[in-house]
Structure 1
Amino acid sequence: MTTAFASFADMPPVFATAFMVGFIEWACVEALRPFLSSHERTVGTHVDVSHVAATPVGMTVTADVELVAVQG
């Protein structure tokens, strides 16, 4: 594990912003999976979010994602 990622082990037990961005990316990939052929992939290129509070363990987190454009 690189030093940059090792720091995540020291994070408090909450759903912090760094994890939220990864969760949003995962939601996007899963939302588009039915529309991609086996050789196609999708990646995010822009994130514009506001995270007003950390979410404690045990609470529900929901990501609503929207595809606004397709290029290529």
Structure 2
Amino acid sequence: AERAADRSTMIGTGGRSERIRTYRFKDSTAVDHRLSRSFNLQAVLSGDLDELIEALIVLDRAQRLASL
């Protein structure tokens, strides 16, 4: 039961308020809402995700440390 609750917490409702990323073609930016940070849209779409992934790793580490 605890495992099921953890899983449903991770999955969420799929609602619009749980968006992860917005692609703004007009501004040529990709905004990651978990990071509250913008990235170059063309770089993200072409697969150059190193900067985005590094920022997510830093966020994950900070969240894990905070939960200890």
TM-score after normalising by structure 2: 0.34
Kindly indicate whether structure 1 or structure 2 has the higher relative contact order, using CA contacts under 8 Å at least 6 residues apart: 1
Which of the pair is proportionally richer in strand? 2
Which of the pair is proportionally richer in helix? 2
